[in-house]
Structure 1
């Protein structure tokens, strides 16, 4: 009696099982190819499953695709066929149906599985027939006894020797204490294969070189650990080409979890340039996404940090780095206090921890400037932080982050040229650090180089999928300077998520001209009730940090139009806006 054909539901269960297997799920092209041929077959459209339709529908080839000139479909089908065989031969399948791709065809077969014939993972070998083993002659018994005794003594001496060596090594080099269970450690990442799906073997070396470039670029981020294999995260990618652009599809899988935890597509036009340059630009763009503090390699750890009511004691250095990241996004006093307390504990135990020193210097400079009276001289005020940042650079002279934090401290001291020099050094050491580029853009803009500063800020925003609020500072400044009030409000509201003083002030200053009374009504009470504005005056507080007359004039004009009392601009005032006596 012929076997009944599998139902569509059974086939889809088998498909879901395959798509969840890392061997296939790590490759979006193979996953899409498998899904495509199964869906077409279940729909009764087997006749349309041809090399041409697969190339166009699955691999994005143009409509003039020539299967004879471009072997992409044959290559990928062969890879998929091999992986299907590996999966089912491993005994990992629990499905009633197997999906196979016969040789020479792209239409899959769906076959029921006989449970008695299913391969079992971890099957043990059959027992040995002792009677069939050849026996030694009796006359060899004394010789074999002496040989056995000699071998036993040699084995005992070897074990004693190995144990002694292990003891001495452990005594001389005690193992480092690992993080406590549940506390995240510095992310480790392995760069996997980068597949050439362009159909042009001439690009093999260039695309393989992307993996090396990404690995080298990520190694310049102080908190990441790039390892050749066995990393917590594995990055894989594939590159396709159309008539006028390259597309890179990157995937991240995490050790111990099935499937893909992150994916991104980077598309770059060729513009007639050499392929090696275009692919190099794509490698830099991918490194910028992966290395960003808001990027996928930190997402789970930052979520863990956000769930903690208290920090572990003593805190590991990486936990303090997570605290620093949390402050970096919101720039609030409570987040600063948490991060500074954490870093103080780390530095008390390890005074030469250069990353912690740099974090502490930059954060402490912000905190002291934030909390200081408007009349304070910033150079002596931040002398300790400047020394601390300089020490971090001395300890870690190849660190982009150390120079970036030194630049921040120098900028808050008003030493603009020195700060720009430090930031340029930071960018040269790690061109993929968008934090350094965004900071450089702000400082260039404040130094009067509006076009250069705006270009740096816009590049940083475009490079990172979820830019932190301070990236929008240059955009808000430039839009307000040019009286592009709608753009200024959009940027200022993004900025306000991490700067509740400057962001709100720019939004309110831009609102009157375009009739955004709703924003004025929402933000004006918040500005007038800000205790630091009340203590110094709104413009007096801004003038210490933002010495650009065109910017300050726009803010002043807009605040007055929005109904901020003039008495609140230049000196201490009461909550109702009247001059404080």
Structure 2
């Protein structure tokens, strides 16, 4: 039935039916309640209250209607009818030429396997009708056996899965205003939708779904975004708000503006709305941050792991990366063809240093990234993962091709040129690396870590040690190995201070890992020999010769 195109049910209803059937054949139908369905199938929190949230009642009613429509459509082609009687969540099976099984008689596989002496007691009230009961029981056994055979043949292709979160959905409120202001507002809304469509972290809809239609992706949360766009002779201004449609709570709001300079009005509008799209759906955008925070409160497999990886990668958070790694590995067992999961897992393997430390891990990262590209050739994140995996295996030129492809697919994501620029720079292509870092810098409120590190390394390479130190201080993070090396080297060039010992303390290596020299650490990250020499020279002037560094977090 699940594979039949005539069964017009949503993914949510298919998952619900699969769950009810699974519980029936496990002999647990008696334990299935609205609360357990809400938690196990719809991903509701443990604080779910069936009395105040009718989701289970509504969705079961819709599934019941979908089943009835299916059996009416297929007619005699299907010999077994599956029904959901009102009043409980126990599926009933009936042969096409027999009446439905009475709702008060439920035969589970556990009961069918009883020995003769363990027969279920029959109340005395029905004893005079033993012959009729025997006939009904025979029909039940036959129907259940047939259902079991069908179930076992289908379950291999549609195994029961845990609740898997999906990417969130942004619904852009379409303005209803008329006249010149209304036209300006609609143009702004259209371009915002276009800009958001470049980001694979979210799905974007342009109107509120009709009543009864679930517009969000299965398991994904929906956010409503409204904007008010205003134009004056001197500036363009956009005011925005993100609302939770279930609670009507305003989650985030803000205002952005851009001065009208030599650019035409259209260019100013596009620049302003591209910045808004990044702040909503970018690597550390509003929606990604809200979803990642929810993942910490209510962990789930699937896209929640992807978002956790996004945030951990952006913040260079070793604990977050370890959690994301475990989460993504488990998700990959259920979603072996999910490009987002595979690409994120490849990036985490590179970021944690596993891929550079182990040829086996490097080969696996490469395999995951290649598969992600094959599954989602229009996803910029797939190519970013491929770029990083290729770089760590030493295939530099191929890595840069993947990075340029990613940048072409999503020219609005500043993280892509920032990451590509850093890899180009550390490999020795200094001018091109700086060029991409400058591209990432344009129009951004906060400069991406990799772009800032590229510019700091460029300052150091050019002898601008104070500027390099200032940038490194702005990036200070105990887990950021290269930034701390750069801080010590810049301080050494300027003259040792107390900051040197502070940076050394922040480079204490993980007890579970093997320490290696600065030269080895930087070489493992693909740094060019002349750049390593410059950094080691600064460390020597700071009084540090062979400092062991940690390799549990990557830049």
User: Above 0.5 in TM-score?
Assistant: yes
Q: Distance between the aligned counterparts of 1:279 and 1:364, measured in 2?
A: 39
5+ residue gaps, structure 2, are 1-63, 74-80, 83-149, 210-215, 217-221, 550-555
Quick check: which has more Rg, 1 or 2? 1
Evaluate the alpha carbon distance shift between residue 504 and residue 419 of structure 1 in structure 2; reply closer, same or farther with a 3 A threshold.
same
Distance 1:399 1:417 in 2: 20
Q: d(CA) in 1 for partners of 2:351 and 2:241?
A: 37
Describe the SS at the equivalent of 1:297. helix
TM-score of the pair, normalised by structure 2 = 0.62
Secondary structure of the structure 1 residue equivalent to 2:352: helix
Provide closer, same or farther for how the CA distance between residues 444 and 209 of structure 1 changes in structure 2, counting only shifts above 3 A. farther
Mapped contact 2:388–2:399 kept (Cα < 8 A) = yes
Provide, for residues 43-95 of structure 1, a one-character-per-residue CA deviation record: whole Å limited to 9, x for no partner. xxxxxxxxxxxxxxxxxxxxxxxxxxxxxxxxxxxxxxxxxxxxxxxxxxxxx
* Matched residue, 2:524: 544
Match of 1:336 in 2: 321
Cα deviation, 1:350-401, whole Å, max 9, x if unaligned, reads 21111111111222233354661xxx7x6x7622321221111111111111
* Mapping for residues 109-508 of structure 1, pairs under 5 Å: 164-165=68-69, 185-193=166-174, 201=180, 205=183, 207-227=185-205, 228-230=207-209, 232-258=222-248, 260-307=250-297, 311=299, 315-369=300-354, 372=357, 382-460=362-440, 463=443, 465=445, 469-497=449-477, 499-508=479-488
Q: 1:167 to 1:455 in 2, by over 3 A?
A: farther
Q: Provide, for residues 17-59 of structure 1, a one-character-per-residue CA deviation record: whole Å limited to 9, x for no partner.
A: xxxxxxxxxxxxxxxxxxxxxxxxxxxxxxxxxxxxxxxxxxx
CA RMSD of aligned residues (A): 3.8
Q: Is the 1:194–1:239 Cα contact (8 Å) retained in structure 2?
A: no
2:478 touches 2:507 (CA, 8 Å); kept in 1?
A: no
Unaligned runs of 5+ in 1: 1-159, 574-581
Distance in 2 between residues matched to 1:272 and 1:319, nearest whole Å: 43
Q: CA deviation at 1:403?
A: 0.9
Distance (whole Å) between structure 2 residues aligned to residue 471 and residue 261 of structure 1: 30
Q: Cα–Cα, structure 1 residues 530 and 489, in superposed 2: closer, same or farther, change >3 Å?
A: farther
Question: For 1:445-464, what per-residue CA distance to the aligned partner results, in whole angstroms no more than 9, with x for missing partners?
Answer: 23444344334334435655
The 3 A distance-change label for structure 1 pair 233 and 536 is same
1:533/1:541 contact within 8 Å kept: no
Q: 1:456 to 1:365 in 2, by over 3 A?
A: same
* TM-aligned CA distance change 1:341 to 1:277, over 3 Å: same
Question: How many residue pairs align between the two structures?
Answer: 395
Distance in 1 (alpha carbons) for counterparts of 2:499 and 2:250 = 41
Contact kept in structure 2, 1:292 and 1:464, CA below 8 Å: no
Structure 1 residues 498 and 283: alpha-carbon distance in aligned structure 2, compared to 1, 3 A threshold: farther
Contact 1:489 1:507 in 2 (8 A): yes
Using the TM superposition, give the Cα deviation of residue 465 of structure 1 relative to its aligned residue in structure 2, in angstroms. Answer: 4.9
Q: Does the aligned pair in 2 maintain the 1:330–1:498 contact within 8 Å?
A: no
Contact 1:332 1:498 in 2 (8 A): no
Measure the CA separation in 1 of the matches of 2:464 and 2:278: 29
- The Cα shift of 1:485 comes to 2.6
